[in-house]
Amino acid sequence: MVDFIGIERIRQLVAGRGTARFIEELAREIESDFLRWSEFEKSPRHASHSQVGVIELMPASDGRLYSFKYVNGHPKNTAVGLLTVTAFGVLADVETGYPLLLSELTLTTALRTAATSALVALHMARPDSRTMALIGNGAQSEFQAIAFHHLLGIRELRLYDTDAAATNKLVANLGRLRLPGLAVERCRSTAAAVAGADIVTTVTADKRNATILTPDMIAPGMHLNAVGGDCPGKTELHADILRRADARVVVEFEPQSRIEGEIQQLPADFAVTELAEVLAGRARGRAAQSEVTVFDSVGFALEDFSALRYLMRIHQQQRGGERQIDLVPDLEDPKDLFGLLASEPVTAPASLRLRA
């Protein structure tokens, strides 16, 4: 039997801790795995692109556990009532190859993305950052707002989306959450939202080389959390922002970010720093108050590995952790797989004789 976490179960797990605490604990799990970066087998995700979206497989292993995530990205889905992103994942035992957990990762991906964003900002944003512009108010936006409010102390949130209905949805959800001390402001443009912000989070969905942020919008000392650009041909930042003399760019896994991140716009020798180096203290996330810092986030398989392991642990700890599915056969004789299909035991005919 394999542990199983579906949509209803993930709702229970998050409710049992509260969304903010869940994100905080997940951020710690992600950080602990990045701190043992060298133990992991790493590769860029395998992507199958079409005219309307992408389907990806994201594997990771530390030699003891193996995980993969299936995830899609189809920005036009919302027009027909479907999610832009859906995902599920598996955590398996390397020694036997047996799956240990099958889990939804649609909600979890949004939670782990927010956890990673806030974790990185703790190392890259100015410690006194209190104002964040949130550009793109769709499915990921509430999670980002909760994470930055809880972990970084953001007290002013400035919102903009080309779709006013998305902003209305975000405002309504934040109103229900009643996050203490958080002021929310709707803005008429990206430029208006960004003006005076300490942190700018871009989490837009269009599959194109968009220019969400331009160099004139960027002030010294800003931290840019660029989340929406996550596949070839999909970016959010004008390339000159990355080229600024005072800019510092951090990525999760450089070989993948060269293909999918904001830095796909720049030459292969453009200098970046991997997140593991920053978390381990071998590289700075910020060298000066006036420095412009950029987290070129595309999402990396190690974050899903961390999430799946965290989910399995709390799933087994909390009541209801007995939920399992019969995904793998349980055989008395592991060489008799066909026996599962037989209505009664199969015996060899009496006339059958072995040839010498």
| Catalytic residue numbers, as ranges | 230
Determine the Cα–Cα distance for residues 74 and 94; give it in Å rounded to an integer. 32
Cβ neighbours around 131 below 10 Å, total = 17
User: What's the per-residue H, E or C state across the chain?
Assistant: CEEEECHHHHHHHHHHHCHHHHHHHHHHHHHHHHCCHHHCECCCCEEEECCCCEEEEEEEECCCEEEEEEEEECHHHHHHCCCCCCEEEEEEECCCCCEEEEEECHHHHHHHHHHHHHHHHHHHCCCCCCEEEEECCCCCHHHHHHHHHHHHCCCEEEEECCCHHHHHHHHHHHHHHCCCCCEEEECCCHHHHHCCCCEEEECCCCCCEEEEECHHHCCCCCEEEECCCCECCEEEECHHHHHCCCEEEEECCHHHHHHHCHHHHCCCCCCCEEHHHHHCCCCCCCCCCCCEEEEECCCCHHHHHHHHHHHHHHHHHCCCCCCEECCCCCCCCCCCCHHHCCCCCCCCCCCCCCCC
Yes or no: say if 252 and 115 are a contact pair by the CB < 8 Å rule.
no
Question: Of the candidates 69, 68, 66, 67, which has an alpha carbon nearest to the alpha carbon of residue 95?
Answer: 66
